[in-house]
Amino acid sequence: MVPAAVNKLRKPVRRLTSCCAIALAVALLHDGALARPAHQHHRPKPAPVWPIIFPDAQYQPVPWAELTGWADDDQLAAFAAFRKSCRAVLAPRAAAAAAAAAASLKPLGDSLTTPCRAARHHDVTDAAQARAFFEQHFVALRISKLGDAEGFVTGYYEPIIEGSRTPTEVYNVPVYRRPSNLFVRGVSQNASNLPNKGQVFRKIGRRKLVPYYDRAGIEDGVLAGRGLEICWLKSHTDLMFTQIQGSARVQLADGSTLRINYDAHNGYPYTPVGRILIERNIVPREQMSMQRIRQWMDDNPDGAKELRRHNRSYVFFREVKLSDKDEPIGAQGVPLTAGRSIAVDAALHVYGTPFFIDGDLPISSEQPSTAFRRLMVAQDTGSAIIGPARADLYFGAGAEAGQISGRLRHPARFALLLPNSLDPRWRAHTMPLPKPRPAAQHEPASSARPHGAVHRHGHHSHRHHHHRPHSQHRRGHHAR
């Protein structure tokens, strides 16, 4: 699985030239600005504020030919992953979700519905056709955090671990399902996949809400004996890494496989234990990986217990009916695709958004020497994935995927694919023109309005009064 997900990665990297959001607004609204020779100097014309605002980000349009490796990627694999996302975007129940996304004023809102409808009817059979589809329906935006030239990527995978349906001397660490007294404001307790960020409470009686138990309390047995156990694992280290990854394949003694997926968390922010090991000078920063963390925990069981409890966050799971051949289900509710799915900041980005990611990564070896140039699709999220150009790359299941994922903590360039419906240049093609102004009628000088200015100026002011508060509301909402 993993070799297929990481092949064809042999292209050089070019560095990103930073450009702020203002430059994007001007470039998008003046078609052809990118092609101007560098020696020409033009005074920028006044332009309306571009309605899309990515908070704390800088971005600019980039021609497809300037995306390193774009022409060499297998966009057919990305198109298949995009179509999976489109099933969720266009599903009947997605109408409410799309409305909620628009209401929350995420930059892309529900704009993916247009290219998703097109993808549903396109007969795409090779990489060239898939590439043409994306070029026809999207515009590429180079995007990064404000002040940074590049974004940042890590990796994740689905662990394959041993476990048991019943507790034994070997398998004695429980994997818990979501408790019935776990409460999130504004979310139905019957909903699946509760948010992985924000406050979570323990409900006492009908009205009293208190913070939920933290990792230490749960490890000490506060939930024991309530019938919440899905299965048992060999160690707390196995459980912690399963919680970090969000899913697992648990191999049982009878040869069958139990599949578990993220369902809820206890409301405490995630604290990276690797960072603590670095701060304590136990593991050098340049040597940090999941493998080093596991090795240290296995060699220091007492220290591992103390270290784990610095991360008060705790994840609850649900059993999912998937076969050994099925990939896990991401936060969007669709199966992930190894080498094509990414986890993004769900507070900022809309699931289903394609991103072209370009960087030199430690995939074939521990050195960042593998050229990674791939079109990926946002289908998952994680509590540590924050920012406009931050992604967790999904590499599949098993030990090899875990090895690759564990050593990924590297810079990369991001290009977000923006649907044409949000590109002002495309909007101009269908923008209605004003009706011709009627010929001026001569009036006696004594009865004519001075310059006719009062009515026109008042109307112009009304338009600005109508639009400015809307623009400010969008910007203020995203700043929060």
Highest mean pLDDT among 25-39, 172-186, 384-398: 384-398
- Condensed to tens digits (0 to 9), the pLDDT of residues 194-234 reads 666 667 889 888 789 999 999 999 999 999 999 999 999 99
Give yes or no for residue 449 having a pLDDT over 80.
Answer: no
**CA dist., res. 288 & res. 230, Å (int):** 32
The pLDDT value recorded for residue 54 is 86
**CA dist., res. 327 & res. 192, Å (int):** 18
Identify which of 174, 276, 314 has the alpha carbon closest to the alpha carbon of residue 234.
174
| Region 324-329 average pLDDT | 92
Give yes or no for residue 340 having a pLDDT over 90.
Answer: yes
pTM of this structure: 0.75
- Does residue 301 contact residue 321 with C-beta atoms inside 8 Å? no
Domain with CATH 2.40.40.10 in the chain: 2-31+48-152+339-394+412-425
Domain with CATH 2.40.240.50 in the chain: 156-320
| Rg, C-alpha atoms of the chain | 26
The pLDDT value recorded for residue 176 is 98
For the 156-320 domain, the top CATH level (class) is mainly beta
Give yes or no for residue 345 having a pLDDT over 70.
Answer: yes
pLDDT band at 95 (very low <50, low <70, confident <90, very high): low
Which range is least confidently modeled, 53-67, 90-104, 247-261, 432-446? 432-446
The pLDDT value recorded for residue 438 is 67
Identify which of 301, 157, 358, 184 has the alpha carbon closest to the alpha carbon of residue 241.
157
| Region 387-407 average pLDDT | 95
Pair type for strands 257-265 and 315-320: antiparallel
- Condensed to tens digits (0 to 9), the pLDDT of residues 3-33 reads 445 444 433 333 333 334 434 443 443 343 3
- Condensed to tens digits (0 to 9), the pLDDT of residues 116-150 reads 999 999 899 999 999 999 999 999 999 999 999 99
Between 108 and 6, the higher pLDDT residue: 108
For residue 20, what are its two tokens?
């702020």
The pLDDT value recorded for residue 373 is 98
CA 55 to chain CA centroid, Å, is 15
Give yes or no for residue 434 having a pLDDT over 70.
Answer: no
Is the domain spanning 2-31+48-152+339-394+412-425 CATH 3.40.50.1360? The answer is no
